[in-house]
Structure 1
């Protein structure tokens, strides 16, 4: 039984997202429509539907009668996406703490374990696992938004940041300070201090942008 057109377009969109997250499709890359369909291994009709959805999230731009170009990741775009994430996370943190102190034990344990490994003798796949650990805290704070439209905005921006991260690698030298910054956020959330959590989120944003060389002058 052939999948319905709607189901196939959903699957094509997920395949497109997977290709963007993995780096198979990279920032500013141009592809003709047939080449993109071949890359994600879906028919042209489903690929076109997936492209429409991706364009709505600013993950790519359609060049009429030519093809598509993947989102660029220049300084302005990077700052805008990271600022948006921080803004949503700050509100998410406030709402989480408005309901009491969250259990941060699992997140703390995974961050501390990764930090200890990075300081000791990091494995070859440390950067890949660091991204997953990094996202776990960001996703947790966004879960506090408890609003489907805000969470949709976060999810779309998360996809854009995946493209940025593929263009700006999570180098091993960044893992230690990033995990330390995350642990400061975790400590603030554990204490129930929303002002401290907001401050640490802003601090993490500032240092991440500086590390990537796209921070603004103070």
Structure 2
């Protein structure tokens, strides 16, 4: 049975998802009192939640300053993508070695979800699903540390794209994900790595600054995401693998 989620867990998952889906943009202030009010938490617990997100590179929480969604520099962004390419290549190698027919069915089902989100015009879900394809693939590697690190790097890439990127192209992502699945199913690690390199490279090339996005309303975003997380059931909150123990 899954361990019941704490309020800190719920807050972390909701804030992380809001950042990944670009509902909370880089630089958005995250006042402790407002977050605490939404999740029924003390400042101590809010700080614990923000500290976990800071460790993932998604939040900038400095002493005596209001925390904010992180704003990585272009140099930091380049370094993140360098690490991501290395991790993605190793994930592909391990998945090819451990390949099972059910992996293909799972990944293809995920691509169908991406296609459905595109058909609905649901941009925020499309962005999240594009990243989750890679975290699902990492989970199939059988290496928990690789899964954890790649999940964090993929989340950071979503943040970088919110800050510097051109609009997300779901058509390209879906097509490229399908090509990667075909190479994995064929057991061709070299081809799968080439396709993954091209795919990650195309994501990185969208890193162009755009400062015209409107400032989001933190209260409205927290209400939406907290409600969605809680409606799934407190026992089913998706937590990061090998995450640090949350404050109770």
TM range (shorter): 0.7 to 0.9
Q: If each structure's helix is expressed as a fraction of its own residues, which one has the higher value?
A: 1
User: Structure 1: any 5+ residue segments left out of the alignment?
Assistant: 1-5
The CA deviation string for residues 67-122 of structure 1, in whole angstroms up to 9 with x for no partner, is 2132114433333333333322221111111124544245336537866996xxx4
2:145 to 130, 149, 167: 149
User: Structure 2: any 5+ residue segments left out of the alignment?
Assistant: 210-248
The CA deviation string for residues 6-26 of structure 1, in whole angstroms up to 9 with x for no partner, is 934333333432443344432
TM-score if structure 1 supplies the norm length?
0.75
* In 1: Cα distance, 2:125 partner to 2:30 partner: 30
* In 2: Cα distance, 1:55 partner to 1:106 partner: 31
Equivalent pair of 2:92/2:189 in contact (CA under 8 Å): yes
Residue number in structure 2 paired with 1:193? 188
Larger Rg: 1
Equivalent pair of 1:37/1:43 in contact (CA under 8 Å): yes
Equivalent pair of 2:21/2:128 in contact (CA under 8 Å): no
User: SS of the residue aligned with 2:205?
Assistant: helix
Cα 1:171–1:61 shift into 2, 3 Å: closer
Once the two structures are TM-superposed, the CA of residue 55 in structure 1 deviates from its matched residue by: 1.9
1:138 to 126, 134, 137: 134
TM-score if structure 2 supplies the norm length?
0.67
Residue number in structure 1 paired with 2:111? 111
Equivalent pair of 1:33/1:44 in contact (CA under 8 Å): yes
Equivalent pair of 1:88/1:145 in contact (CA under 8 Å): no
Residue number in structure 2 paired with 1:44? 43
Q: What pairs with 1:49-198 in structure 2 (closer than 5 Å)?
A: 49-100=48-99, 102=101, 103-108=103-108, 111=111, 122-125=119-122, 127-167=123-163, 171=167, 174-198=169-193
